[in-house]
Amino acid sequence: MQTDRGREPSRTAHHLVPSAHFDALAAGRGGPGTVRFLRTTEHSRRLLLLRALLDTAATTPGALGPLPSVDEAWRVLAAAQERAPEEFRELLLHPHVGVWLGHGLRRLHRTAWGDGPLWTDLGHLHAVCAVAALRAGLPLRTTVPLRDGAAAFPTLGLARLPGRPRWGTAEVVVEAGGLTVEPHRERVRPPAAPGGTAPGWLGLHRLTARAAGRPVECRLDDVDPYRDLGEPLPPDRLGPAETARWQDRFARGLTVLEEADPEMAAALAEGLRSLTAVPPVPGGPVLSASSGDAFGGVLTSLPPDPVSFAVTLVHEFQHTKLGALLHLLTLERDGGEERHHAPWRDDPRPLGGLLQGAYAFLGITDFWSRHLERAPADRRAAAEFEFALGRRQTGEAVRTLAADPALTGHGRRFVAGMTARLAAWETGPRIRPGADALAAFAATDHRTEWRIRHLAPAPDDVRALARAFAAGAPPVPRTAAPAVVPDPALPWSHARTRLIRRLLTASPDGGPEPSAADRALVAGDPSAADAYARLLAGDPESPETWTGLVLSLATASRAARPLLHHPELLRPLHRELRALGVPPDPARLARWLITAPS
């Protein structure tokens, strides 16, 4: 930004990615120096987004409604940047400022909508100006938008003004090192202590820990309207007891991470700035997310233990690093078609989504590899399972990536780095055969159910097979490859993998109880196939039950393993035979299909 030439284009240097940083990131790594480099590039991007928002708002009639002009905001921001460049940089890099910039630009370009007038979102610019002036020690009097009678200030908190209209304005005064909100002679100001509360003011919680030999501080945000990835959110204040649980698990989670992987802990300490609490799903997995708009920000439900917290931080920080790299380089040129199996997702993924997931799980698998030797004795088997499963599933995804012609030259080099990292993880005696076998089973379970849910055989092939079965003839060859047709059904239960984890940790997971058929299959009981056949008599469309039947047959007999290559044929074939009035026993149909040509 320039301070003496109005809105002259800012002179932001082009960024070249040093090979050392690129290769470290490709291997799933990248220490504090790499993260500092990415923060520098993200700062440049935020400046460009800010300029784009200001310019577009200036040419959009009524964009700022009753609020001060774009020129006034530009003057304040330029002066703040000149007076306190590092403070300005930190403010602009705040994750929720990034989310606001992205949302504001999308609203201006009419690719996103809000629950209020356009100026209520774009006017957040003046709240940013107020915080910038406060940090730079500049006096300022401005006007900010109110959302449900509250004014949000990034990195500071939320001023609550009861009795005000849902969409309104309030005057803000910055002077003598303080900020005051003045609606009709009422005065609300943040407390002197960062993160505290005051009458009419909700400060941001602060989580503290130590990593890389230094203190780490992270905001736990439950009030900023731009703390989510989509539309603005109302505040959802955490109580003292819940905040204390977040503090305990955050500190202990970073300790677990540092003990296993000091470099990753140091890198995360360099880049992490905020956590947003997400309501949990009772009995469900940890919910977490991050966004390319919000470098350094993580949304997550509270992980149940320090190890889960460490895994969640690694997971989302991997997305953060890759998202920043993708702002600099193009790794793939794909049309976005949802066509790939991602072993950790229930839905088909485009190439870019598969790359993101594989990269996240490369980091997670790396963590489990390093945590193995530090896991308590009663958790060692579970850690072995997670490492073995991660290695198998990430390897499958990386091989899919490497074979896709839509990768660019940079993308091929990046995936080659991921491949080399995977090859460096030798399981050897570190993983006992039992844990590896369970991991192989869980990986096959997911792949099989994904095929049953999302691959649609050619209708002519299904009809030909049905006629052959009804006539007592052998299966006929298929003439076409199955099509990927995403199944919009409810999320999977993942009952068998949850059962494995429950058995390895000897603790309940809060989810539904597994069926007797699932328990028999995981235990290696040959009666599992008959149990699944009985379940299918009551619900012949259940993809989970068809998956269980295929797995039980393939587990009991090597001769049945060809079923794993085309399990998607069974459900539509059984459906076709029911329509013909000759519904077969599912196990008999599966055994007949074993001999089908691949």
Compute the distance between CA of residue 522 and CA of residue 528 in angstroms, rounded to an integer.
9
Q: Cα 79 vs. chain centroid, distance in angstroms?
A: 37
Compute the distance between CA of residue 359 and CA of residue 324 in angstroms, rounded to an integer.
13
DSSP output for 353-413: HHHHHHHHHHHHHHHHHHHGGGS-GGGHHHHHHHHHHHHHHHHHHHHHHHT-TTB-HHHHH
- Cβ contacts of 412 within 8 Å, gap of 6 or more: 402
Helix/strand/coil (H/E/C) assignment for every residue in 179-212: EEEECCCCCECCCCCCCCEECCEEECEEEEEEEC
Helix/strand/coil (H/E/C) assignment for every residue in 485-510: CCCCCCCCCCHHHHHHHHHHHCCCCC
Residue 332's Cβ-side half-sphere holds a number of Cα atoms within 13 Å equal to 21
- 69-78 CB contacts, 8 Å cutoff, 24+ apart: 71/6, 71/7, 72/142, 73/125, 73/126, 73/129, 74/1, 74/6, 74/7, 76/129, 76/132, 76/133, 76/138, 76/140, 76/142, 77/1, 77/50, 77/128, 77/129, 77/132, 78/1, 78/2, 78/3
Rounded to a whole number of angstroms, the CA Rg of the chain reads: 28
The residues facing 198 across adjacent strands are 201
Secondary structure class of 299 (helix, strand, coil) = strand
Q: Which of 135, 102, 1, 426 is nearest to 124 (CA)?
A: 102
Looking at residue 207, what is its pLDDT? 97
Looking at residue 308, what is its pLDDT? 97
Q: Are 179 and 156 in contact (CB under 8 A)?
A: yes
Compute the distance between CA of residue 282 and CA of residue 268 in angstroms, rounded to an integer.
29
Compute the distance between CA of residue 278 and CA of residue 190 in angstroms, rounded to an integer.
25
The domains of the chain are located at 438-593
Compute the distance between CA of residue 76 and CA of residue 84 in angstroms, rounded to an integer.
12
In tens digits, the chain (598 residues) has pLDDT values of 333 334 444 455 578 999 999 999 999 999 999 999 999 999 999 999 999 999 999 999 999 999 999 999 999 999 999 999 999 999 999 999 999 999 999 999 999 988 899 999 999 999 999 999 999 999 999 999 999 999 999 999 999 988 888 899 999 999 988 899 986 555 676 766 666 677 889 999 999 999 888 899 999 999 999 999 888 999 999 999 999 999 999 999 999 999 999 999 999 999 999 999 999 988 788 999 999 999 999 999 999 999 999 999 999 999 999 999 999 999 999 999 999 999 999 999 999 999 999 999 999 999 999 999 899 999 999 999 999 999 999 999 999 999 999 999 999 999 999 999 999 987 677 899 999 999 999 999 999 999 999 999 999 999 999 999 999 999 999 889 999 999 988 788 899 999 999 999 887 777 788 999 999 999 999 999 999 999 999 999 999 999 999 999 999 999 999 999 999 999 999 999 999 999 999 999 999 999 877 6
Q: Are 318 and 28 in contact (CB under 8 A)?
A: yes
Compute the distance between CA of residue 452 and CA of residue 569 in angstroms, rounded to an integer.
8
> Model pTM?
0.93
Looking at residue 195, what is its pLDDT? 62
Compute the distance between CA of residue 43 and CA of residue 46 in angstroms, rounded to an integer.
5
Q: How many CB atoms lie within 10 A of CB 377?
A: 6
Cα dihedral 457→459→461→467 (10° resolution): 130
User: What order of strands is seen across the sheet that includes strand 178-182?
Assistant: 178-182, 167-175, 140-147, 150-153, 157-160, 201-203, 197-198
Looking at residue 184, what is its pLDDT? 52
Place of tokens 């989509």: 230
Looking at residue 231, what is its pLDDT? 86
Looking at residue 7, what is its pLDDT? 47
Q: Are 321 and 309 in contact (CB under 8 A)?
A: no
Cα dihedral 500→503→507→511 (10° resolution): 40
